[in-house]
Structure 1
Amino acid sequence: MVISTTILQLLTIMSTLGRAFVSWPIGCEKRVSATSFQHTSGLEGAIGAIDGCHIRIQRPPVRGGDYMNRKSYYSVLLQGIVNAEGRFINVFTGIPGRVHEARLLRSSPFFQEWQEMMGEYRLLGDSAYIGQTFPFIITPRRDSGALTNADLLRNDDISRGRVTVGQAFGRMKCKWRRLRDLPNTCIVTVVKIILAACYLHNLPKMP
C-alpha cells in the first residue's frame, strides 16, 4: 500500500502529539480508576488492565521471519494499558510478532519507569505475565487442577476486570478496519498508523 505524502506528514505530526491523546493518570485520576475497577472486579488497588495485541502486516524485507507469530502470520505487537473506561493510558508498539508479551513489556519504556508511574497501585494482567518479575501486575493463578474455590473466584475477578483491555482492542479494530491487515512493509510507517489509531480511539465521541 502506497501512502501519500500528505498522510505521512499527518501521521508524523500525530506521533509527536501522543501525550495529548494518551496520558498516564495522576493523583485523583488514579483513585477514581481504582474505585471503578474495584466496582467491576472486587479487587482493590488496580488502576488499569494490560495486554498485547497482534496487528497483521506484510512480511518486512529486513528480518521478516522475526515477524511471524505463533498463529503463522506476520504481525507487530501492540501493548496497551487501559483505564476502567477502556481508554488507553499507555501504548507501545513495533516489536515483532514472534516476541512473547512478557518480553514485550520488558522492552517498553513503561517498564523502565513502572515504579514511579504505578506507586502503590497495580495493573490487571492475564496468564502471559504469570511467573514473571512483574510485582505491579495482578495475575490469575494457573489452573493445574488444584486450585481452591477462593483461587477460582479470584481468577474470575481478574478476568472481569481485565476484559476492558480486550474490548478496547476490539473496538479500535472495528472502527479502524485497516488495523486488521496493514499492507505495509515499512515498520516505521506501521508504527505511526497503529499509534494514530490508538490516539483517535481516545478521542471523545461527538454528540
Structure 2
Amino acid sequence: MDVQNKHKFPKVIGAIDGTHIHIHKPKKHAESYINRKGYYSIQLQIICDSTLKFIHCYAGQPGSVHDMRVFRLSGIQSMCTENYFPHDSHLIGDAAYTLQKHVLVPYRNNGHLTAAQINYNTRLSSARVMIERAIGLLKGRFRSLLDKLYMKRTDLIPQYIITCCVLHNICILNNDLIDDVIIIERNNIPEIANDNEITALDKERGVEKRNALTYMLNER
C-alpha cells in the first residue's frame, strides 16, 4: 500500500534490481567475471520493499551473467506463483527483466509510445526509485561494496556480501539510517531481457496485465 499511496502504482510487493560488486581478478575463470563495463565483478540481486528493507538477496554469479539468468538461478522465477504473489501482486523491475504476470517492467521506448504508455513508464520509474535508494544505502554504509572488495576468495565473497545485506536490514529495523546515500550510476542503455525459459503464456499474461494497468493509471 505504501507504493500505491506514494507513487500511485498498485499491488507492488517490492522492486528488484541487480548491482555489481567490484572484485580483484580471480585466479580461476577470470574471463567469466568481466562485466559489460569491463571490470571484474560478482553480482548481487536485491528485492526491497517500500521501507528499503531487503526481502530477498542473492549473490555469487560472475559479472558476465545476464540479469535474467541471475533472476532464474536465484529461485525467484520459480516463486512467481499465486502462492507468493497473492491478490494479483507483483515486483517491478527495469528492462533487464522479462515481462510476466508477477514482474512488471517498462515499455521499450521505440519513439512511438502512447501518452498512456509514457504515463505508465513514469509511474513505474518513480516507484522503482526505492530499489536504487536501497542499493545506495547499502553501498554508502559498506564502502567495500562500492569501491573494490579487498577479498580474493570468490567462494567467500558472496557470504560477505549477504552479511552486509543482513546488517543493512538490522540498521533499517532500528531506524539507523545514514545521510551519505550513494547515487549508483546507471547504464544509459539498460540490458534487455533475454530468457527463453519463460513460457509464452507467462509472457502473454504479463502483456495483458500491463495493458490493463496502463489503462487504469491513465484513467486516474
| TM score, norm. by length of structure 1 | 0.79
Q: How many matched pairs?
A: 171
Percent identity over paired residues: 33
1:138 lines up with 2:138 in the alignment: no
Give 1:188 deviation, angstroms: 2.1
Q: Secondary structure at the match of 2:39?
A: coil
1:93 lines up with 2:63 in the alignment: no
Superposition RMSD on alpha carbons, in Å? 1.5
Q: Secondary structure at the match of 2:155?
A: helix
Give 1:61 deviation, angstroms: 1.1
| Cα distance change on mapping 1:188 and 1:156 into 2, 3 Å | same
Correspondent of 1:183 among 129, 135, 150: 150
Partners of 1:188 and 1:67 lie apart in 2 by 13
Post-superposition CA distance 1:93-143 (Å, at most 9, x none): 1001111111110111222223132233101111111xx363211111001
1:57 lines up with 2:23 in the alignment: yes
Q: Give the AA of the match of 1:146.
A: H
Maintained 8 Å contact 1:40/1:160? no
Give the aligned partner of residue 96 of structure 2. Answer: 128
Give the aligned partner of residue 132 of structure 2. Answer: 166
Partners of 2:176 and 2:66 lie apart in 1 by 37
Q: Give the AA of the match of 1:152.
A: I
Q: Secondary structure at the match of 1:80?
A: strand
Give the aligned partner of residue 205 of structure 1. Answer: 175
Post-superposition CA distance 1:146-202 (Å, at most 9, x none): 001111111010001111011111111110111121122212211111001100001
Give the aligned partner of residue 11 of structure 2. Answer: 45
Partners of 1:72 and 1:179 lie apart in 2 by 17
Give the aligned partner of residue 23 of structure 1. Answer: none
* Structure 2: runs of 5 or more not aligned: 178-220
Q: Secondary structure at the match of 1:128?
A: coil
Q: Select the structure that is richer in helix.
A: 1
Give the aligned partner of residue 48 of structure 2. Answer: 82
| TM score, norm. by length of structure 2 | 0.74
Post-superposition CA distance 1:4-40 (Å, at most 9, x none): xxxxxxxxxxxxxxxxxxxxxxxxxxxxxxx111112
Maintained 8 Å contact 1:50/1:82? yes
Q: Give the AA of the match of 1:176.
A: F
Maintained 8 Å contact 2:99/2:105? no
1:117 lines up with 2:84 in the alignment: yes
Correspondent of 1:196 among 163, 177, 184: 163
Moved segments of 4+, more than 4 Å: none
Q: Secondary structure at the match of 2:46?
A: strand
Q: Give the AA of the match of 1:105.
A: F
Partners of 1:44 and 1:133 lie apart in 2 by 16
